[in-house]
Amino acid sequence: MGIMWRAHDLRLRRDVAVKEIQPPFRADGADLEEARRRALREARSAGRLSHPAVISVHDLLEENGRLWIVMELLEALTLEETVGHLGHLPIHWTAWIGFQLLSGLRHAHGAGVLHRDINPGNILLTGDRVVLSDFGIAALGGDPAMSTTVPIGCAPAYVAPERLRGGRADPATDLWSFGASLYFAVEGRPPYPGSDTLTVLGRAMSGEPDPPVKAGPLRRVLEGLLRRDPAERLSAGRAARMLSEILRLEGVTVAPPSLPGQRFPPGAFTR
């Protein structure tokens, strides 16, 4: 979907990440209009949010038919990469990651933004932050882009069952994907394993996820988030309370993160 560049903002004197949007190719060439819509959607969705658990977007540029999104630069591994290195994460790590990420997700939902593609590859882990990135298929409330179609790039193991059946995206579908990502973190595998996409799709459409075996007290949270009926799924508030209680029992004290003020680098307004 894009190429990431490390860059330096000369005006504000800070390093940034620049994402060059790659247009999809059709039979008659590159679809620049679709690339423009996707870039605008990503910039508008993430740009209206201000939370330490959500990637910060600074600007959207277009030059000579090429589209660029300027965002904060993070030195991070994805959750997918981290689990790939370690096999699976301990319960208290997973609960802490979930608690921080859920705070950002609740902020996004409160601002009318649905992510629609939460998966371990879009969750960034820095030294002290958990950050949700890649709002490329996000949708704003009331946006006609909120169709029932699941984009090709989505990993089926992390898409809510009702979405796979043609249902519309809503906060409950994001929560299912969030739960599936936590399942992957603590179990070391997706809730619907399979060697190919068709096998995963078949299991996701008709069956329940395999019961978690390494989750311990997280099992109730995972099973509540991965309920096939969205009306019975855990709410974000209830999931946050359960995660905070697990962390308390594990000896980890957490508080809801506060919204950061805008910080400019030293010397930003001097020559």
* Residue 87, φ and ψ in degrees, nearest 5: 95, -55
Ordered alpha helix ranges (H), 195-235: 197-206, 219-225
Q: Which of 117, 128, 134, 196 is catalytic?
A: 117
Residues with Cβ within 8 Å of 4's Cβ and at least 6 positions away in sequence, in order, are 17, 18, 19, 20
- Inter-residue contact 85 to 78 (CB < 8 Å): no
Cβ neighbours around 78 below 10 Å, total: 18
Q: Is 39 helix (H, G, I), strand (E, B) or coil?
A: helix
The DSSP symbol for 70 reads E
Q: Is 174 a catalytic residue?
A: no
Q: Which residues are catalytic?
A: 117
